[in-house]
Structures are given as C-alpha cells and as structure tokens.
Amino acid sequence: MTMPYVLPRTGELGPPVPVIVTPTGVCYADPGRDRAGRDLDGLLWEVREGTATGPPAYTAELHPIRQCEAMENLLCAGCRGPADRGPDGMLWLIPLLGAAPNTRWEGMHVAIPPMCAVCAELAPRLCPVLGDGHVTLRVREADPIGVLGTLHPPPGRPGQPEPDALVPYDSPALAFVVARQAVRRLCQVTLTP
C-alpha cells in the first residue's frame, strides 16, 4: 500500500463543484460532469475541482467515488484488493475518534471500507487517525443503508442544505442529496485483539 486507495490526494481537495437544485433533484450544470458524477442508480456523487496529484490527505474525508466503489464491492480501503474474510467475518479497522474501546460496535454505521490483512497491519503506522487509536473488528454482515452527504431542500421549501445528512437508500430525499460517503451497518460484530 503506497497510497491508501480511498484517501484523496492533496491536489483533489479543491472546492466542490456547485450543484443546481431542480424540482426533481440535484444536478451539475455541465451535463457531461453530471453523467460522470452519477452512479448506476442515478445517485449524484460529490465532484471536486483538482487533480489526483500530491501526497495523501490523511486528515481529509475519504474520496467520494473511490470510497463508494470500495464500500459497494467490499474492497480493501488500502489497496483496492479483496477485503480479508475469515470464519468470524470480514476485517474492519475503525478509528476510535474519542470513543472508548469498549464501545458497543454492533449495529454501528460506518463509512470506512474493510481491509485486507496486509493493509490492516500497515495502516495504523501510516494513517495518523488510525495511529491515534483504533479497534479491529470481524464483521459477518455489513448491510448497505444509505449515504452521507449534503441534503438540499427542494425548490420552494425553506431551509438551508444539511451538510452531513445520513439519507437512507429508500428515502425520497435521495434525489436531493450530493453523496460523499456510502454507509453500511455492521452486524454480528466480534472485537478482535
């Protein structure tokens, strides 16, 4: 793992491309960019100005398109290979971010993809967030539940965009979200040493 797959590079941290809110949902003004920013289900993903240059941005949020690919296909966050699977489930490293190690992990919502065994060994030494504290989990089921993103109010409705809304996949509000992270619920979780 020379560069964690799901991390943006510093050159990719430009401002988000602005969106237009229409009665049917959100879109990018440029039709080409709009098509490129949508997944197979028509969900719009955040696109930023910039290019994939520079060192990894360890303190930034995960790259939206690469994070989505890794979460949808349960690929390793580090190398994009298959995530490690064993009798107790798939391997996940979750940063503590102020949580106690004895936190109840069952049913937790995560936007961090799983890992392979090799990257799980390296990641805490490379990533300052994991290096500050993490738990290693084995997860038997990781159900996709929705996306984290900016939820825009439909035209004519008062309110400001919600920058960190968790929008379920079955919600009618999904058309008005610019997704940044795919989210899964961890089930049948075992905390490992």
Dihedral of alpha carbons 160, 162, 163, 169, sign: negative
CA nearest neighbour of 5 among 90, 109, 121, 127: 127
Tell me which DSSP letter residue 81 carries: S
pLDDT digits (tens, 9 = 90+) for 46-80: 988 888 899 989 877 899 999 999 999 999 999 99
pLDDT at 38: 93
- State yes or no: pLDDT of 155 exceeds 70: yes
| Sequence spans of domains, the chain | 10-192
Is there a contact between 123 and 6 (Cβ–Cβ < 8 Å)?
A: no
| C-alpha–C-alpha distance, residues 80 and 77, integer Å | 6
Q: How confident is the model at residue 99 (pLDDT cuts 50, 70, 90)?
A: confident
Amino acid residing at 32: G
Q: What is the CA radius of gyration of the chain?
A: 17
Q: Output the average pLDDT for the chain.
A: 92
Largest CA distance in the chain: 53
Say whether pTM exceeds 0.85.
yes
What's the CA gap between 43 and 169, in Å, rounded?
10
Residue 33: the pLDDT is 86
Give percent of the chain above pLDDT 70.
98
pLDDT value of residue 101:
65
Amino acid at site 185 = R
What is the number of other CB atoms lying within 10 angstroms of the CB of residue 163? 11
CB contact at 8 A, 145 and 109: yes
CA separation for the pair 108, 105 (Å, rounded): 5
Q: How many residues does the chain have?
A: 193
Q: Is the pLDDT of residue 87 over 90?
A: yes
Which class for 9: exposed (0-12), middle (13-18), buried (19 or more C-beta within 10 A)? middle
Q: Tokens standing for 174?
A: 């999904």
Between 102 and 141, whose confidence is greater? 141
